[in-house]
Amino acid sequence: MSNEKASDVIGKRREKIAELKADGVNLFPNDFAADHTIGVIKDKIENEPDSLSEDGPRFSVAGRMMAINKFGKSSFIRFRDRTGQLQAYIRKDRVGSETYSLFKRLDVGDFVGMKGVMFTTKTGEWTLLASELKLLCKAVRPLPEKFHGLKDPEKRYRHRYLDLIMNNSTRDIFIKRSRIVQAIRNVLLNRDFLEVETPMMQPIPGGAEATPFITHHNVLGMDLYLRIAPELYLKRLVVGGFDRVFEINRNFRNEGVSTRHNPEFTMLEFYQAYATFKDLITLTQEMFREVSQEVTGSTSVEFQGNTIDFGGPWRCMPLLESLQEIGGVDSGLLNDREGLLGFASSKGITITKTDRIGKIITKLFDILVEPKLIQPTFITGYPVEVSPLSRRSDKNPDITERFELFIAGYEIANGFSELNDPEDQRDRFLQQVAEREAGNPEAHFMDEDYITALEYGMPPTAGEGIGIDRLTMLLTDSASIREVILFPHMKPADKGIH
RNA sequence: GGGCCGUUAACUCAGUUGGUAGAGUAUCUGCCUUUUAAGCAGAGAGUCGCGCGUUCGAGUCGCGCACGGCCCA
């Protein structure tokens, strides 16, 4: 690398490491048996207080040193493993003068393994009295400052490992994220759903209106698209007899990066045969309550100054009604395309002139209503023209049996009774193809094989997608999607940060 | 795409009207066997994001660029 200019601190550290090597110290051994975790040791003392004694059990434990208080012939260290943090007391007369003089050459950030008994210090802190100590891994670079830690968001994202070492809150977010996914999985497995994996590389990208990433398969000599949604594959599986399926995996959309968009993001999609969108509205509420309870211990959460209550039942409102009641759109305008265009421009909202009325309505909704939907709210009654995969309402063929879920101003979920009439589906695709030819790069492609699958018969089905990143933002009170994605996309930093 | 803000030592941050670059932590040296952001004494450490300009002189003023943050579209 070009940035190997040795700074003072790192340069000195490298010199010290060279000396340790020259003295025959193995800086990267892997022969220490860490038989106990810090968590196990603490549990043991909780349950058997006699363990806190020089006659008590001898523990073998390893971790990264996070702080060192060196005295002349004894030292305290704080070290950490995946289960927590513990103090150890290293005395020259216990570990021997040879080990102690090696220890004095170690640094914060190094990994050590220790064996010893537990005791209580004068200040009452449980502490490992080490009788053996072994260097397990030498750190070349110093950790950030112990009190202020690592704050610079750019460095936190680019060097997430440092963020995880230094900031417990970051660790907690990603532990919670893992638990959220596990809790969702349990909700669905408990309801007899089958977890599946469908292609990430698709010859025809489908299931959403979005711009895909394109890649190329050399041997097959063909372009493939990173998927924008798994929907059309999951519904093929319903055709195949998997009546209840779900997938939790990445989608890719070739669009901007912001506090609420990352080009790759994680989506749950699930499909249930013999169910309607109304069943999914019920299931969604159950899922959110179970997941929130499991992960946060409560069915209400604090998010950016608002208390979000997942207790039910949640508000449910037709799209047009929400535009009138919340968006302040006069009811007379809702069927008046020209009137809506005028209204939009009076609000400073730019609308493409070729947009059809359904699209104009959803754009107005995005700006006038969505930010105001703080408590969980299902919006229903989406126009057919913006819902090319949804079943039509039996009462009104212009709208679909569809809902979107909004919480804290975020679109969190999208679900509907599935369109399983192959002829209608073909017409909808054709309409999309026409839109694409008219210049909408996000319109669907024709997918003949999907039509063929529907022609074999898909039972009446309802399906839904839930954004896992945004759900994690809600449950961890994170204002930016980058806080809940371990390695968010960043432009390359061609210099500077090393 | 637009606006505002940020970028100074490994980290967190000061830096006045333009006049030799500062602190704490970390590091190094010495002392110290119950510390908790340990303590005491001393030392070293900088391409002030990058480039151009104004000026006798730029971390500081101007223009451009890069990266990041927040807001708007």
**pLDDT tier, A497 (very low <50, low <70, confident <90, very high otherwise):** very low
Residue-level pLDDT at A28: 96
**pLDDT tier, A359 (very low <50, low <70, confident <90, very high otherwise):** confident
Residue with tokens 């995969």: A389
How does DSSP classify residue A261?
B
Q: Is any atom of strand B within 7 angstroms of residue A108's beta carbon?
A: yes
Residue-level pLDDT at A493: 79
For the segment A297-306, the average pLDDT, to the nearest whole number, is 95
Q: To the nearest whole percent, how much of chain A has pLDDT over 90? A: 86
Prior bond of A212 cis (ω within 30°) = no
- H/E element, A463: strand A461-467
**pLDDT tier, A350 (very low <50, low <70, confident <90, very high otherwise):** confident
Q: Is any atom of strand B within 7 angstroms of residue A305's beta carbon?
A: no
- Considering only residues 440-479 of protein chain A, which place a Cβ less than 7 A from any atom of strand B? 479
- Residues A412-424 pLDDT 10s: 999 999 999 999 9
Instruction: Determine the protein residue whose CA lies at the shortest distance from the C1' of B46.
Output: A7
- H/E element, A89: strand A84-91
- The answer to whether A228 touches A207, Cβ cutoff 8 Å, is yes
**pLDDT tier, A6 (very low <50, low <70, confident <90, very high otherwise):** low
Residue A209 CB partners (closer than 8 Å, separation 6+): A442, A443, A444
ipTM of the modeled complex? 0.93
Residue-level pLDDT at A440: 87
Nucleotide nearest the Cα atom of A142 (by C1') = B10
A353 pLDDT higher than 90 = no
Q: To the nearest whole percent, how much of chain A has pLDDT over 70? A: 98
- The answer to whether A409 touches A400, Cβ cutoff 8 Å, is no
CA-CA distance, A65 to A108, in Å (whole number)?
5
A102: exposed, middle or buried (Cβ count in 10 Å: 0-12, 13-18, 19+): middle
Instruction: Determine the protein residue whose CA lies at the shortest distance from the C1' of B49.
Output: A496
Nucleotide nearest the Cα atom of A256 (by C1') = B1
A410 pLDDT higher than 80 = yes
Average pLDDT, whole number, for chain A?
Answer: 93
**pLDDT tier, A388 (very low <50, low <70, confident <90, very high otherwise):** very high
At A365, list the tokens. Answer: 């909704």
User: B25 C1' – A141 CA distance, angstroms?
Assistant: 15
User: B37 C1' – A151 CA distance, angstroms?
Assistant: 17
A119 φ, ψ (degrees, to nearest 5)? -145, 175
Q: Is any atom of strand B within 7 angstroms of residue A14's beta carbon?
A: no
Q: How many CB atoms sit inside 10 A of residue A202's CB?
A: 21
Residue-level pLDDT at A477: 96
A331 pLDDT higher than 90 = no
CA-CA distance, A223 to A265, in Å (whole number)?
22
A385 pLDDT higher than 50 = yes
Q: How many CB atoms sit inside 10 A of residue A187's CB?
A: 20
Instruction: With CA atoms as reference, report the closest residue to A42 among A56, A52, A32.
Output: A52
- Residues A120-171 pLDDT 10s: 999 999 999 999 999 999 999 999 998 999 999 999 999 999 999 999 999 9
Nucleotide nearest the Cα atom of A11 (by C1') = B27
- Residues A91-115 pLDDT 10s: 999 999 999 999 999 999 999 999 9
- Residues A13-55 pLDDT 10s: 999 999 999 999 999 999 999 999 999 999 999 999 999 998 9
**Covered bases, chain B (protein CB within 7 Å):** 1, 6, 9-13, 24-28, 31-38, 44-47, 49, 66-73
At A252, list the tokens. Answer: 């890719």
CA-CA distance, A378 to A79, in Å (whole number)?
48
User: Strand order of the sheet with strand A264-273?
Assistant: A194-195, A244-252, A264-273, A461-467, A410-417, A402-407, A377-380, A315-318
**pLDDT tier, A75 (very low <50, low <70, confident <90, very high otherwise):** very high
Q: Is any atom of strand B within 7 angstroms of residue A363's beta carbon?
A: no
Residue-level pLDDT at A344: 82
**pLDDT tier, A3 (very low <50, low <70, confident <90, very high otherwise):** very low
- Considering only residues 117-136 of protein chain A, which place a Cβ less than 7 A from any atom of strand B? 119, 121-123, 125, 127
Instruction: Determine the protein residue whose CA lies at the shortest distance from the C1' of B71.
Output: A259
Nucleotide nearest the Cα atom of A155 (by C1') = B68
Reported as half-sphere exposure (CB side, CA atoms, 13 A), residue A59 has a value of 27
A498 pLDDT higher than 60 = no
Residue A62 CB partners (closer than 8 Å, separation 6+): A32, A34, A81, A111, A112, A113, A114, A136
A435 pLDDT higher than 60 = yes
Instruction: With CA atoms as reference, report the closest residue to A284 among A315, A253, A250.
Output: A315
User: B72 C1' – A92 CA distance, angstroms?
Assistant: 63
**pLDDT tier, A9 (very low <50, low <70, confident <90, very high otherwise):** confident
Residue with tokens 């209400």: A300
Q: Is any atom of strand B within 7 angstroms of residue A144's beta carbon?
A: yes
Residue-level pLDDT at A496: 35
User: B34 C1' – A3 CA distance, angstroms?
Assistant: 43
CA-CA distance, A155 to A134, in Å (whole number)?
31
- The answer to whether A199 touches A250, Cβ cutoff 8 Å, is no
User: B21 C1' – A490 CA distance, angstroms?
Assistant: 32
Q: Is any atom of strand B within 7 angstroms of residue A4's beta carbon?
A: no
At A400, list the tokens. Answer: 């679909």
For the segment A212-238, the average pLDDT, to the nearest whole number, is 97
User: B60 C1' – A83 CA distance, angstroms?
Assistant: 48
Instruction: With CA atoms as reference, report the closest residue to A106 among A59, A144, A64, A72.
Output: A64
Instruction: Determine the protein residue whose CA lies at the shortest distance from the C1' of B6.
Output: A152
Residue-level pLDDT at A348: 74
